[in-house]
Amino acid sequence: MNNISMETEFLLLGFPGPRDLQLLQASVFTVMYLSALMGNGLIITITSLDACLHTPMYFFLRNLSLFDLCLISGVVPKTVINSLTHNNSISFLDCATQVFLVVLSAAADLFLLTAMSIDRYAAICHPLHYDVIMNRGTCLRMAAMSWFSSGFISLLHTVNTFSLSYCGLNEIQQFFCDIPQLLALSCSEHITTEIVTIFINAALDLCCFICIITSYIYIFSTIRKIPSTQGQSKAYSTCLPHLTVVALFFSTAFIAYLKPIFGSTSYTDLVLSAFYILLPPSLNPIIYSLRNKAMKTGLEKLIIRKLWKTENILIFQE
C-alpha cells in the first residue's frame, strides 16, 4: 500500500457469541472487578491505617494492591461497557492508555514480588540483621525502583507500538489492546524495535524469576535447619501467601503468552487472557487475608473504629 493512514480507532472483537453470552461475560467481569476493588481497597486502607502493619512486607503488599487495581481497572470497565452496548470500538488514545497501564502493572507486580521475596529471605535467613537490611530507606528505594523501572518499560513499549503505522484491518482479536495483536495489524517496516524491546523485557523477567527462585532455595534450606516443627510451620506460613501469589502470577502470565504471537486467537486464548487480567487482582487479597492473623486483626480494628465513630455521631445528634 502506497498510502498508509494511521487508524483513529480499533475494534476489540472480544468474546464471540450471542447476546446472552455477552451479558454473562459482562456479569462475570463486573463481579470479579468489584471483588478486586473491594479486596485491594481494604488491603490499602488497613495497611495504611494500622500502625502494626507498617512493616516492609505490608508496605510492598500495599504497592502490589495498588498496581493490581491499576491492571484490572485499565481493562475491565471498557470491556464491560463494550459488551453491554454491543459497541466494540476503542479510540487510538484509549488503546494506548490500556497498553501503558497493562504493561506498567505487570512489570511493577513482577518487581514488587521480587522485592517481597528478598524481604522473606532477609526475615528468615538473617533474622538478627533483618531490621538493618530491610530498613525504611531500603524499602523506599526498592519501591521507587519498581515504580520507575515499570514506568520506563511501559512507556517504551507504548511509544514503540503506537509509533508504528496501522492500515487496512483494525480488528484486534482480544477484549483489550494487546501488544502482540497490535503488532500483527501493523503495516510498518520498523516493527523490529518493539520485538527487540519485548525480548529485552523477557530477559529482565527471567532475571526476576531466577532471583525469586534463588531466594526460596535459600529460604527452604534455612527452614529445614530449624529444630522445632512449630518453628518450621510458622516460617512456612509466612512464605506461603507470597509463594502462592508468585505461582498465580507466573502461571497465568506464561499460559496467556506462551502461544503464537501472530495468528488467529481462539476462544481458549481469550479465556486464558481473562485469567491473567482477572485472577491475580481478585485472588491476591484473599490469599493474603485468608490465613493472615495480622490482616484480620487490622480489619477488626477498622470495623470497630468505624462503628465507634458512628455511635459517637449518633449520640451527639441525639
Please give the average per-residue pLDDT across 230-238, as a whole number.
Answer: 84
Residue 14 neighbours by CB under 8 Å, 6+ apart: 25, 79, 82, 83, 88, 174, 175, 270
pLDDT digit string (tens) for 282-315? 998 888 876 677 777 776 776 776 666 555 554 5
Mean pLDDT of all residues in 164-179: 82
Q: Are 11 and 176 in contact (CB under 8 A)?
A: no
The pTM score is 0.87
Task: Over range 71-86, report the average pLDDT.
Answer: 90
User: What CA–CA distance (Å, rounded) separates 66 from 252?
Assistant: 19
Pick 207 or 257 by higher pLDDT. 207
Strand 89-91, strand 9-12: pairing: antiparallel
Q: Taking the CB of residue 247, how many other CB atoms lie within 10 A of it? A: 11
Q: For residue 254, what is its C-alpha cell?
A: 506464561
Map grid coordinates 476503542 to a residue. 90
Domains and their CATH numbers in the chain: 9-293 (1.20.1070.10)
